[in-house]
Structure 1
Amino acid sequence: MKAWSWDRYGPPEVLALKDLDEPDIGRDDVLVRVRAASVNPYDWRHVAADPKLVRLSIGLRRPRPGLVPGADLAGVVERVGDDVTGLRVGDEVFGEVRLGSFAEKVAVPQNRLAVKPTGLTFEQAASVSMSAHTALQGLRDVGRIAAGQRVLVNGASGGVGTFAVQLATMFGAEVTGVCSTRNLELVRSLGASDTVDYTREDFTARARRYDLILDNVGNHSLGQLRRPLTPRGTIVIVGGLASARGSLLGPAAQMIRGALVSPFISQRVHAISWKPNSTDLRFLADLMEKGELTPVIDRTYPFDELPQAVRYVEQGHARGKVVITL
């Protein structure tokens, strides 16, 4: 099969299209022929080993041979393991792997897949898992969102942010979205009742207070983020492109600081580490079938232009998601 791989850490141009063996599947795995995959910051951080902490899981000096980047995917089931239930050959599915989706075929654990809603294209379905999982779990599980709360989403026009604005609105919150001038209308159309243009205003200097802040950007210190928070409010740290590049820890540094300070203050500071699972995927699929959640896709690239797609995401200006098609 054709797959993108890399043999040294660096910019997206280190990616090369190679002929690799079709992946084996375990008893709980499903072999999926990929029809579309989306690009996340997670992907270029693995390609570049930025932060350096990434090397611990994929290779200290260089990536292990035969590794394929990519997480989000949508496609068609070609083969199922002996213990797989609920999925069969020919099913159209979407979900996520730790690595491997930038290939013609990928082996996926069954508990990271769900049947694709019939009304969604493969491109739309491929854009969901990592970003929507992060938004959902960050708001619901970590942030403990409740109806009537004031919620601020920093980075509201990005991959996680576009889902977070919609989900927070669905949960009954009053949503403020922080984005650039060109994205204000998009964020309002997703449900935000208030917007902040970060090129003209610093939301941390506002008099308004928020019960929950979901930070997808990483461009403010914890002290700054706490300023517009209610005395018992919650900050959920996702990370973001603004987190120090080329460092040992990257976004994890802010997460560690949050964990250290949280026990000593009345406000809650927590990091989100998304946990892909089929239960949440089915929940998200149901929302999309009802028209209550809509993926926002900025650009679509053909499979053979993957490095350009990764480069575009790395620049940090994508509105919603960037998708590659096979």
Structure 2
Amino acid sequence: MKALICENKALRLADLAEPGVPKPGEVRVRVAAATVNPTDQDMAAGAYDLFLKLYGARGPVKTGLEFAGTVEEASGRYRKGDRIFGYTSLMKGPKTHQQVLNVNENCTAAIPEGLSFEQAASIAIAGNSSLALIDDIARLAAGQSLLINGASGGVGVFALQYAKFRGLRVSATAGPGQQDFVRGLGAEAVYDYTTQPLDALGSTFDAVLDFSNGLKFRHVRHLLSPRGVFVPADPLKNLADIAANPLRRQKTGYFLVQEGDTGKLSKAAALVAGGSIKAEIDSRFPLAAYREAFERLGTKGRRGRIILDMADAAS
């Protein structure tokens, strides 16, 4: 099979042996589509090497967290030929930038009729995370207010639409040229962060979600209602604020979804299949053009997920 392997903090396309027999509870998948996201870039650069060693993760394929494809062998949950998608374990699970994958069934869900492989792969992390963020961590109810910082990225576009579906009053930040796009997803107010910095906003919100990985509690405290919740995308950069939660009414939420959950994945997919939420795909690249796909991550103005066509590996 073809796979992206990481050597000396650089990626290259290589031929690898297919994985062995799936373990009990795993399913073997022929991967049709995978995504490229900022975590993959960090993985390739070695930012997670220590954590991967601590969790016992081994193997040359270190990138790829989301996938969609076809079941190659019947398993405890699936039949051969079933279309499934999922989000493999951030640290422990196999990575998805390979054409064949043995993955824990609990990290996967069936793809509903009407959804393409590309659409399903694009919502695995975004859908799973958005449900966890809004329902479990921020615990928002219909009518409450939410500000999303970084609403045009892969998770932000789903979170915004899901918040609107749940009856929340949603505001968002976006860069130049993104305001109409974000407003079209359901945001009631959109702030251009280049001309309207957060410290100048006069509104308050029941929750602030930050997908930029750049904010701390002190940056948004003035934006929170008396019992508001700030949820950063990377809790490891905000451990001190999380530890201080018992000392104040305003909180910092701990958000770290390390793998897919079948229930949340199924609900997210059903919302897209039913038309309540749109799967936003920024761009598509054949596997052989992986360098261009990773370069796209650094381009301003991205909207949604970057997709790798895993079947197209011709150089």
Measured in 2, the distance between the counterparts of 1:172 and 1:205 equals 27
Q: Secondary structure at the match of 1:107?
A: strand
Q: How does 1:235-246 map to 2 (within 5 A)?
A: 235-239=230-234
Worse-matched range after superposition: 186-195 or 310-319: 310-319
Q: Is the 8 A contact 1:205 1:227 kept in 2?
A: no
Q: Is the 8 A contact 1:3 1:17 kept in 2?
A: yes
The residue that corresponds to 1:231 in the other structure is: 226
Q: Is the 8 A contact 1:31 1:78 kept in 2?
A: yes
Q: Is the 8 A contact 1:139 1:214 kept in 2?
A: no
Q: How does 1:117-156 map to 2 (within 5 A)?
A: 117-156=112-151
Per-residue deviation at 1:117? 1.8
Which amino acid in 1 is paired with 2:8? R
Per-residue deviation at 1:57? 3.0
Identity %: 32
Q: Secondary structure at the match of 1:181?
A: coil
Q: Can you list the C-alpha shifts for 1:27-83, whole angstroms capped at 9, x where unaligned?
A: 111111011111111111111123xxx1223349xx9543342110011100134xx
Equivalent position to 1:283, from 238, 246, 267: 267
Q: Can you list the C-alpha shifts for 1:133-165, whole angstroms capped at 9, x where unaligned?
A: 112211110000111111000000001100110
Measured in 2, the distance between the counterparts of 1:65 and 1:36 equals 21
Measured in 2, the distance between the counterparts of 1:108 and 1:204 equals 44
Per-residue deviation at 1:184? 0.7
| 1:263 lines up with 2:246 in the alignment | yes
Equivalent position to 1:72, from 66, 69, 72: 66
Q: Secondary structure at the match of 1:175?
A: strand
Q: Can you list the C-alpha shifts for 1:177-222, whole angstroms capped at 9, x where unaligned?
A: 1111211111111111111110110133211110011111133332
Measured in 2, the distance between the counterparts of 1:268 and 1:192 equals 24
Which amino acid in 2 is paired with 1:233? G
Measured in 2, the distance between the counterparts of 1:190 and 1:302 equals 28
The residue that corresponds to 1:92 in the other structure is: 83
Per-residue deviation at 1:301? 0.6
Q: Can you list the C-alpha shifts for 1:218-254, whole angstroms capped at 9, x where unaligned?
A: 3333212111111111111113xxxxxxxxxxx6222
Per-residue deviation at 1:315? 4.8
Measured in 1, the distance between the counterparts of 2:98 and 2:41 equals 16
| 1:7 lines up with 2:7 in the alignment | yes
Q: Secondary structure at the match of 2:177?
A: helix
Q: Is the 8 A contact 1:93 1:114 kept in 2?
A: yes
Q: How does 1:1-326 map to 2 (within 5 A)?
A: 1-9=1-9, 14-24=10-20, 25-50=22-47, 54-59=48-53, 64-81=58-75, 84-85=76-77, 87-98=78-89, 99-239=94-234, 252-254=236-238, 256-274=239-257, 275-315=259-299, 317-325=301-309, 326=311
Structure 1 residue ranges (4+ consecutive) displaced by more than 4 angstroms after TM superposition: 314-317
Q: Can you list the C-alpha shifts for 1:92-118, whole angstroms capped at 9, x where unaligned?
A: 111121342111111111111111122
Unaligned runs of 5+ in 2: none
TM-score (norm 1): 0.88
TM-align CA RMSD: 1.7
The residue that corresponds to 1:248 in the other structure is: none
Q: Is the 8 A contact 1:165 1:175 kept in 2?
A: yes
Q: Secondary structure at the match of 1:185?
A: helix
Worse-matched range after superposition: 159-168 or 89-98: 89-98
Measured in 1, the distance between the counterparts of 2:221 and 2:298 equals 28
Measured in 2, the distance between the counterparts of 1:228 and 1:8 equals 43
Measured in 2, the distance between the counterparts of 1:281 and 1:270 equals 22
Q: Is the 8 A contact 1:20 1:66 kept in 2?
A: no
Measured in 1, the distance between the counterparts of 2:146 and 2:2 equals 44
Q: Is the 8 A contact 2:38 2:297 kept in 1?
A: yes
Q: Is the 8 A contact 2:215 2:232 kept in 1?
A: no
Q: Is the 8 A contact 1:96 1:108 kept in 2?
A: no
Measured in 1, the distance between the counterparts of 2:299 and 2:183 equals 24
Aligned length: 302
Measured in 2, the distance between the counterparts of 1:280 and 1:261 equals 30
